[in-house]
Structure 1
């Protein structure tokens, strides 16, 4: 896999998620990357305000996230994901996550929107 994948300046949305999750197709993630460090602000759907911070090595990320939902509940969690480049050049992330502040875990797929 290409070790030069950059998330910087990219916008992604949730295309699939497990029932325990709050990310949906209405949730937009706006990424920044500085070397191996990645950051994103996300919102939309059930998520009013979310932030993630983590690291990327090659095509794998390791992140922590915190968010507020429409019911004004806060939640935090951890995830690891695999980043791939689609044939059209957009990025796709298959992410395995687990809440740390509540029960639940699952898988989310994010895809870049142009």
Structure 2
């Protein structure tokens, strides 16, 4: 299976998030990638120690799981599907449909954009 999007070493910030989402606009995601497998660390207001791991399932799609520790010490975990696209400035957008597997069991959508020229 081939993939068109290279995430290794790239950083992303949220552009939008459902009201039930926990990721604030200051969150920073830093990605690593090896073939179709990728991972990221993230942190921001409301949580610490966030991690995700994913697998490309097509040229522009992936599945992933994520977990984090909230500032109150609670642990949270979820799963998502992602679709990757490129915008006019050449940066990557990630659109995710996600759901928490514990806690509130909320679900929603989020969009993340690659940070360029920062």
TM-score with structure 2 setting the length: 0.91
Instruction: Report 1:63-82 matches (<5 A).
Output: 63-82=64-83
Aligned length: 113
- Displacement after TM superposition at 1:72 (Å): 1.1
Counterpart-to-counterpart distance in 1, 2:47 and 2:75:
10
CA distance in 2, matches of 1:49, 1:16: 21
- Structure 1 runs of 4+ off > 3 angstroms? none
- Report the RMSD for the aligned CA atoms in angstroms: 1.3
Q: Name the counterpart of 2:106.
A: 104
SS in 1 for 2:39: strand
Q: Could you list the per-position Cα deviations for residues 1-27 of structure 1 after superposition, in whole angstroms to 9, with x for gaps in the alignment? A: x94211111000111111211112111
Task: Show structure 1 runs of 5+ residues with no match.
Answer: none
Counterpart for residue 50 of structure 2 = 50
The unaligned stretches of length 5 or more in structure 2 are: none
Secondary structure at the aligned position of 2:82 is classed as strand
Instruction: Give the alignment's TM-score, normalised by structure 1.
Output: 0.94
